[in-house]
């Protein structure tokens, strides 16, 4: 009866306070971001992460030592580079996973995809799917990872620190005119973000307006004519110093306000493209650049 009650509560609210759960047994019930409620056997000693953002989140809450496998692109923090690789964007090494025998695999719901997640489940692996689509999703993501990894106190501290810093950034943004902003995530073809992307949320937070916010596709391909018609006041590219040619490309398009005013900026891609606390570093860059374009 108690187990059924907890399942109903989690289905409704996502997480039951750990004190309530631990009062009955050492295992926990959690709802993942694909809506599945399942029991996590405690203690979890071996975790596999299938995405670099998840790897980084686990290190943030002090659970990096539990990682026995990570994806090919998990390169931060430096300790992640020494962990066994188990997958890339398109392929999972199932033989390695079987040999590792993880207690739980944590997947990126949209990045790894439902096909891969279901395949892993069919092989008998416990898979927890995580998705951070908004800045407001971070606190709950930290807390659930803390429950899984028995890092409850640490995850609470990280969650609170994230909320505090986000609040500070919001309070620092000038309440003046909105800046038309074009955010470029790729150069050939030119790709941007729609209004449903978390980076678009950050643009709004910083007092900008994503000029392609109305598009339905999350990361659409855009032609130059459309950009000229939108006439952004700031162009921000998620490249790095190696990709400075992205900036050079725009310098020929003086018909665009951002080019005329030299409001073309670069942000290291990992800061905004990975859903970790470093997204707030990227947000500070973004806010500073949008403020310069006012």
Domain ranges of the chain: 2-164, 174-292
| Long-range contacts, stretch 10-17, CB < 8 angstroms, 24+ apart | 10/37, 11/37, 14/140, 14/144, 15/140, 15/143, 15/144, 15/147
Q: What is the pLDDT at residue 11?
A: 46
Q: What is the pLDDT at residue 243?
A: 58
**pTM strictly above 0.85:** yes
Domains 2-164 and 174-292 share a fold: yes
Each residue's pLDDT expressed in tens, for the chain with a length of 294 residues: 334 434 444 444 455 444 434 433 467 889 999 999 978 888 999 999 999 999 999 999 999 999 999 999 999 999 999 999 999 988 999 999 999 999 999 999 999 999 999 999 999 999 999 999 999 999 999 999 999 999 999 999 999 999 999 999 999 998 888 999 999 999 889 999 999 999 999 999 999 999 999 999 999 999 999 999 999 999 999 865 555 677 788 988 999 999 999 999 999 989 999 999 999 999 999 999 999 999
Q: Tell me the torsion sign for CA atoms 58, 60, 63, 68.
A: positive
Closest CA to 209 of 98, 286, 113: 286
Question: For 2-164, CATH number?
Answer: 3.40.50.1980
Q: What is the pLDDT at residue 171?
A: 95
Q: What is the pLDDT at residue 16?
A: 46
- In CATH terms, 174-292 corresponds, of 3.40.50.1980, 2.70.98.40, 2.60.40.1220, 3.60.15.10, to 3.40.50.1980
Q: What is the pLDDT at residue 14?
A: 52
């Amino acid at each position: 009866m108690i187990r059924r009650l907890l399942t109903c509560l989690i289905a409704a609210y996502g997480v039951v306070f750990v004190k309530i759960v631990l009062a009955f047994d050492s295992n926990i019930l959690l709802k993942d971001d694909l809506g599945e409620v399942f029991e996590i056997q405690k203690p979890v000693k071996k975790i596999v992460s299938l995405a670099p953002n998840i790897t980084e989140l686990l290190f943030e809450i002090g659970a990096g030592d539990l990682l026995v496998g990570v994806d090919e692109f998990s390169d931060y923090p430096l300790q992640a580079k020494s962990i066994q690789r188990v997958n890339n964007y398109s392929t999972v090494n199932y033989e390695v996973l079987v040999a590792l025998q993880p207690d739980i695999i944590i997947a990126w719901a949209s990045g790894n995809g439902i096909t891969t997640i279901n395949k892993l489940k069919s092989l008998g692996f416990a898979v927890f799917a995580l998705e951070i689509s908004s800045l407001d999703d971070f606190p709950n993501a930290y807390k659930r990872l803390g429950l899984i990894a028995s890092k409850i106190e640490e995850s609470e501290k990280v969650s609170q620190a994230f909320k505090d810093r986000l609040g500070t950034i919001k309070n620092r943004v000038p309440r003046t005119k909105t800046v038309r902003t074009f955010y470029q995530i790729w150069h050939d073809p030119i790709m941007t973000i729609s209004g449903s992307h978390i980076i678009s949320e950050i643009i709004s937070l910083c007092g900008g307006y994503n000029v392609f916010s109305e598009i339905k596709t999350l990361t659409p391909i855009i032609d130059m004519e459309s950009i000229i018609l939108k006439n952004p006041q700031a162009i921000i590219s998620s490249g790095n110093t190696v990709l400075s040619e992205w900036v050079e490309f725009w310098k020929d398009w003086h018909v665009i306000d951002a080019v005329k005013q030299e409001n073309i900026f670069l942000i290291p891609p990992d800061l905004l493209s990975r859903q970790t606390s470093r997204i707030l570093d990227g947000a500070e860059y973004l806010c500073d650049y949008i403020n310069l374009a006012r």
